[in-house]
Amino acid sequence: MFYLIPGLGADERVFGRLQPLLRGETRLLPWLTPEPQETLPQYAARMAAGIPPEAEGLLVGVSFGGVVGLEINRLRPRLRTVLISSIPDASCLPPLLKLVRGSGLYRLFPPQWLKLFPRAGQWYFGVQNGEEYQLFRQILRDMEPQYTRWAVARLLHWDSTHVGRSIQILGTHDRVFPSGPTPVEYLIPGGGHFMVFSHAEEISRILNKLAEAKAED
């Protein structure tokens, strides 16, 4: 079983190329509307409510979805978390995001501002022209302000103490989450932050291999 968690502000569309290539049952975990002042562990508990306690398989999270996946994994330890374009713990936040956190700029300039500057977002997220860019524009258009403000704040102030182990799949050209202080299990040459879409074939091969190994455990 593959449990799929999209990135911040995204939905099942980011898995449009990947999902048909996965050998096994897949289930999308859609984002919930956060409650006022809800903590990340509380939110993850609500996300995990639909997953049986004895569930096994891969919990695949993209970007912020990987962070939420690691929090869900605390509650569903029989799953194995796989991070795509994400970070395994808070120490891996890149300098730019640490600066944004320290300055408080995220409170003044929420992600919705990217709607005004889509080409800047295209460069930052490594989105190619054509179909990818059109999907990226649609995701920006559909961003929900309440959710994105909450998610950015929770990401920047994530307490990853005692978070479980994970498997990281990262692109060599990821500007959002470049390689950090921890080893990366799978580096995708030329992959940017949007590689779940652009490099779906390479990622599917890794995930199918991991699923087979998990089934043999």
User: What do you get for the CA distance between the two ends of the chain, in Å?
Assistant: 14
Q: How confident is the model at residue 116 (pLDDT cuts 50, 70, 90)?
A: low
Q: How confident is the model at residue 141 (pLDDT cuts 50, 70, 90)?
A: confident
CATH topology (fold) of 2-216: Rossmann fold (3.40.50)
Residue 107 has pLDDT above 90, yes or no: no
Please give the distance of CA 70 from its chain centroid, rounded to a whole number. 10
Determine contact, residues 94/103, Cβ cutoff 8 Å: no
pLDDT tens, position by position, 29-83: 999 999 988 999 999 999 999 899 999 999 999 999 999 999 999 999 999 999 9
Structure tokens at 42: 């509380």
Q: How confident is the model at residue 166 (pLDDT cuts 50, 70, 90)?
A: very high
Q: How many CB atoms lie within 10 A of CB 201?
A: 10
